A and B are shown apart, each in its own frame.
Chain A
Amino acid sequence: MTPGRFAGRGAIVTGGASGLGAAVAAALAAEGARVIVADVDAAGAERVAGEIGGRALRVDVTSAADAAAAVRAAEADGGLHVLVLSAAVEIRADLEATSDDDWQRVLDVNLKGPFLCMRAGIPAIARSGGGAVVALGSTLGAIGQPGFAAYCASKGALVNLCKQAAIEHAADGVRVNVVAPSACDVGLFVRTAERTGNAAAVMRQVAANMPMRRLGTARDVCDTVLFLASDAAAYVSGTVVPLDGGLAARRQ
């Protein structure tokens, strides 16, 4: 790791109050970035910001006004160079059991949220001299899995939205990429596993099915997100990087 890779750069991490978002916020701060921890959970954002020396902002990513406010805050602090889209919700329900409200909620947070944040953030990154957007996708954006109808749809759509943004803003010096983790030992998957009532067994079983025989870690995700956000990935845009212990290699 190169200390200070992000010195002098401004970053926003949505969903930064917990799980993978909090880990990414901490990693960016540790490498010198000015980090805005943006989350709908204001207390959680304050806690993480306090721990990492960042700034907390209550941001509901489904609100265009909140997204714009976060971007303004970053610009006022000296510019926006890195936008990490980590806020997401996961609802476990098959299609026939998915209510209209759940469908809308998942699409709003996981798809419209990134749209609103990119719409506000990409011009700011361009004004700041260029930078990168990194969105947290999912293995379930590329394959189907029974019981995750709305989540799969939202993550599949997110991938193409990011490809779109990558093409449209490549000339502005803004790169856009997606990291697609499989089940990780922190964040949404853990919460989903806990709802089964036997989290340890579920996590063991999923890990056993992975080519690498383990779940992803926050460390894994941070390393990949920071790579894509950094100048080391200067010629990488519009890609989806699977972070899945080899799982994608089983598919076409």
Chain B
Amino acid sequence: MTDAGTSLAGRVALITGAGSGQGRAAAELFAAHGGRIGVIDIDDAGAAETVRLVAAAGSEALAVHADVSRRADVDRMVAATVERFGRLDVLYNNAAVQMSGRLVECTDAEWDRTIATNLSAIFWACRAAAPHLRKTGGSIINTASVLGLIGSEGYAAYGAAKAGLVALTRQLATELAPAVRANVIAPGSIDTPRFRKVADAMPDPEGFLSGLRQNLPLRRLGAAEDIARVALFLASDASAYTSGAVVPCDGGLAALR
């Protein structure tokens, strides 16, 4: 389904955390719609596999190794992508770490790493990419979380970082307009390898998963492809008049709040 609205032909998208899960699904879908992709990940093998999948989808990708909690890596990933492809149209900040822990038990090191990876990294990336995105009339997509909109036991630093990211994105939507749009995707429970790892660590993984499904209006977990389709909408001209929005993709969970 490549109508003009969701075409990324001639455009370049940088996707962080593209070596697996939601980032990889977006890279494949963006590629299928004509986009060239900067595949950013801390996991080189995962990034290489995504590059292969992008090629199989008929497009072209560049893998860049980056730990987004380091400013220098973030600057380098933007520069390398622009150097290779000559432009930047879409900045998709998808990479994140998720460490759970109650506020009173959260160590300074856990706090600092979570805030750096999930909030400061996006600030650095947007600052570095803004001049390039202004030239192309680009789009910024930031992955927050339903946990950035509500509180939930055990996610003190994570929830704070994601809520900060929502606020930062609203801010960007006002500052970088009219040239650049900025929006947030707020995924709910998405069935990715990382999510399975969390579930498997539970005392009763199957009971946990079926309880989650039961609690969702749509009665199923999300798939990485569900998020990728929302990301494509926000990346493309299909959302030309949408900026500063928080789009939940959560099986209807947000409607319960």
Cα distance A55–B161 in the bound complex, in angstroms: 34
* B151/A163 in contact, CB under 8 A: yes
Contact pattern, A 98-137, Cβ under 8 Å of B = 1, otherwise 0: 1010011001000110010011001100000000000000
* B170/A143 in contact, CB under 8 A: yes
Cα distance A123–B166 in the bound complex, in angstroms: 29
Contact size range, A: 35 or more
B14 on the A face (CB < 8 A): no
A167 on the B face (CB < 8 A): yes
* A159/B120 in contact, CB under 8 A: no
Residues A111 and B160 in contact in the complex (CB < 8 Å), given A94-B175, A153-B167, A165-B103: yes
B85 on the A face (CB < 8 A): no
B27 on the A face (CB < 8 A): no
Residue of A nearest to B162 (CB): A160
- Shortest C-beta distance, B149 to chain A (Å), equals 8
Contact pattern, B 159-200, Cβ under 8 Å of A = 1, otherwise 0: 111111111111111111000000000000000000000000
A141 on the B face (CB < 8 A): yes
Contact of A167 among B153, B168, B171 (CB under 8 A): B153
Residue of A nearest to B103 (CB): A165
Cα distance A32–B235 in the bound complex, in angstroms: 57
Q: Which residues of A contact B174 (CB under 8 A)?
A: 144-146
Q: How many inter-chain residue pairs (CB < 8 Å) link A and B? A: 141
Q: Which residues of A contact B124 (CB under 8 A)?
A: 100
A67-107 residues at the B interface, CB under 8 angstroms: 94-96, 98, 100, 103-104, 107
Interface stretch (choices B29-37, B104-112, B203-211): B104-112
Q: Which residues of A contact B159 (CB under 8 A)?
A: 160-161, 163-164
Would you call the interface of chain B mostly helix, strand, loop, or mixed? helix
* A115/B165 in contact, CB under 8 A: no
A54 on the B face (CB < 8 A): no
Q: Which residues of B contact A37 (CB under 8 A)?
A: none
Q: Which residues of B contact A146 (CB under 8 A)?
A: 171, 174-175
Contact of A156 among B155, B164, B173 (CB under 8 A): B164
* Count of chain B residues near A, Cβ 8 A: 46
- Shortest C-beta distance, A16 to chain B (Å), equals 23
Residues A64 and B163 in contact in the complex (CB < 8 Å), given A146-B174, A164-B155, A238-B151: no
A177 on the B face (CB < 8 A): no
* A112/B111 in contact, CB under 8 A: yes
Q: Which residues of A contact B162 (CB under 8 A)?
A: 160
Residues A98 and B123 in contact in the complex (CB < 8 Å), given A112-B115, A148-B171: yes
Contact pattern, A 143-181, Cβ under 8 Å of B = 1, otherwise 0: 111111110111111111101111111000000000000
* B150/A163 in contact, CB under 8 A: yes
Residues A123 and B150 in contact in the complex (CB < 8 Å), given A153-B119, A165-B156: no
B38 on the A face (CB < 8 A): no
- Shortest C-beta distance, A54 to chain B (Å), equals 26
- Shortest C-beta distance, B39 to chain A (Å), equals 25
* A95/B172 in contact, CB under 8 A: yes
Cα distance A147–B164 in the bound complex, in angstroms: 16
Q: Which residues of A contact B135 (CB under 8 A)?
A: none
Cα distance A159–B161 in the bound complex, in angstroms: 11
Q: Which residues of A contact B219 (CB under 8 A)?
A: none
Residues A157 and B167 in contact in the complex (CB < 8 Å), given A107-B115, A146-B175: yes
* A144/B172 in contact, CB under 8 A: yes
Contact of A144 among B71, B160, B165, B171 (CB under 8 A): B171
Cα distance A142–B120 in the bound complex, in angstroms: 19
* B123/A153 in contact, CB under 8 A: yes
26 A-B pairs within 8 Å (CB atoms) are namely A64-B108, A95-B168, A95-B171, A95-B175, A95-B176, A96-B127, A96-B131, A100-B71, A104-B120, A115-B106, A115-B156, A119-B104, A122-B103, A140-B167, A142-B167, A148-B171, A153-B165, A153-B171, A156-B164, A157-B163, A157-B167, A158-B160, A160-B164, A163-B150, A165-B103, A167-B153
List 5 A-B pairs, minimum CB-CB distance, nearest first: A156-B167, A157-B164, A160-B163, A163-B151, A144-B170
